[in-house]
Amino acid sequence: MNLLYYQGSIELGIIYAIMALGVFISFRSLNMPDLTVDGSFVLGAAVSAILYTKGHPFLGMPLALVAGCLAGCITALIHTKLKIQPLLSGILTMLALYSVNLRVMGNKPNIPLINKPTVFSIVNDFFVSGFSDLVLSFIILIIVVFVLFLFLKTKLGFVIRATGDNEHMVKALGVNTDFTKTLGLAIANGLVALSGALIAQYQSYSDIGMGVGMVIIGLASVIIGEVLFGARSLFRRLTAVILGAILYRLVIAIALDLGMPPTDLKLISAFIVAVALAMPAVKEYILSFRKRMSSSAGGKGGEA
């Protein structure tokens, strides 16, 4: 067992947790299956990589966030104004983003981030330590969660959460749900893009295919968090998403450590999410099976 190896996984988990928080906003708070994520993640990475090559590693972060927000707005507009289902709206934006992302990256399928300082290497130069990546990513995550938590507790945050919970009610209480959905999807994809921007600098490359299955990873984190850490209060839910994201990375790391070929990663991700999503149904089966067993047992008892 290699400690450094697992420390890397935790760092990855922390950065991916920002993406998972975005997925949490769209899938849970808004109750919208938004597949823009696969595209907006790469968009963030692309913006970050391009600015890096121009010598602005820090500027790439906020710009990636804004670009992600715009991508989310496009999906929301397709859904709310053109009345196309959320699922399809997201897929359309994701598809369009593939071309956009290539353009952003100067028509190159990948950009290596070498020779110049990244956000991570700059911080490491200041505080020379084996933990600087970990601390930096953790600080960024804490800031993101803190701001997100406060936002979801504002009046605006309330109506966004209520939109996913009960759209009828929100409309009946005088709120334009087209607006709340747009705002929610913008925030969600902004976070996803920010995560992509950080990953690009952390891994020192940006690749056009790095977003494939990202939404599933995000969803896996959300669900693992919910199952293991509960969904009681908002604070608990956000913490659960983060822990879920880190745990997911650790599981993958262990699997790789045990000899799973890296090419099977997506297969495992899909499997984990399928299992997690199937939980409620499986519980039902078991319950009804037990009921049938006990009632037939009771019936026999009556006859005897």
Partner 1 sequence: MLIIDNLSKTFGKGTINENLAIDNLSLFLEEGEFVTIIGGNGAGKSTLLNCISGVYEVDKGRIMLDDIDVTFKPEYKRSKFIGRVFQDPLRGTAHDMTIEENLSIAYDKGKPKGLKPGIGKKYHKLFRERLSLLELGLEDRMKQKVGLLSGGQRQALTLLMSTIVKPKVLLLDEHTAALDPSIAKKVLELTNEIVKEYNLCTIMITHNMKAALEHGTRTIMMLDGRIVLDLKGKERKDMTVERLVEQFGNKNGLYNDRMILG
Which chain residues interact with partner 1 by CB under 8 A?
Answer: 151, 153-159, 161-162, 165-166, 168-177
Quick count: other Cβ atoms within 10 Å of Cβ 255? 15
- To partner 1, the closest distance from the beta carbon of 139 in angstroms equals 23
- To partner 1, the closest distance from the beta carbon of 235 in angstroms equals 13
Q: Which residues contact 52 (CB under 8 A, 6 or more apart)?
A: 60, 113, 116, 118, 200, 201
Residue recorded with tokens 């984190």: 221
Alpha-carbon distances, residue 237 vs 31, 34, 161 (angstroms): 15, 19, 13
Pair 234, 253: CB distance under 8 Å? no
The residue among 275, 248, 240, 266 whose CA lies nearest residue 24 is 240
Q: What is the 3-state secondary structure (H, E, C) of 42-84?
A: HHHHHHHHHHHHCCCCCCHHHHHHHHHHHHHHHHHHHHHCCCC
- To partner 1, the closest distance from the beta carbon of 166 in angstroms equals 5
φ/ψ (deg, to 5) at 2: -110, 110
Compare residues 123 and 162 and give the one whose CB is closer to partner 1: 162
- To partner 1, the closest distance from the beta carbon of 270 in angstroms equals 27
Compare residues 153 and 266 and give the one whose CB is closer to partner 1: 153
- To partner 1, the closest distance from the beta carbon of 101 in angstroms equals 32
Compare residues 227 and 274 and give the one whose CB is closer to partner 1: 227
Residue recorded with tokens 């593939």: 98
Compare residues 105 and 145 and give the one whose CB is closer to partner 1: 145
Q: Which residues contact 45 (CB under 8 A, 6 or more apart)?
A: 64, 196, 197, 199, 200, 206, 207, 210, 211
Amino acid (1-letter code) at residue 127: F
Pair 197, 60: CB distance under 8 Å? yes
Measure the CA–CA gap between 161 and 295, rounded to whole angstroms.
42
- To partner 1, the closest distance from the beta carbon of 231 in angstroms equals 9
- To partner 1, the closest distance from the beta carbon of 240 in angstroms equals 14
Compare residues 170 and 253 and give the one whose CB is closer to partner 1: 170
- To partner 1, the closest distance from the beta carbon of 237 in angstroms equals 10
Measure the CA–CA gap between 229 and 49, rounded to whole angstroms.
35
Compare residues 169 and 277 and give the one whose CB is closer to partner 1: 169
Amino acid (1-letter code) at residue 302: G
Compare residues 161 and 249 and give the one whose CB is closer to partner 1: 161
Compare residues 105 and 159 and give the one whose CB is closer to partner 1: 159
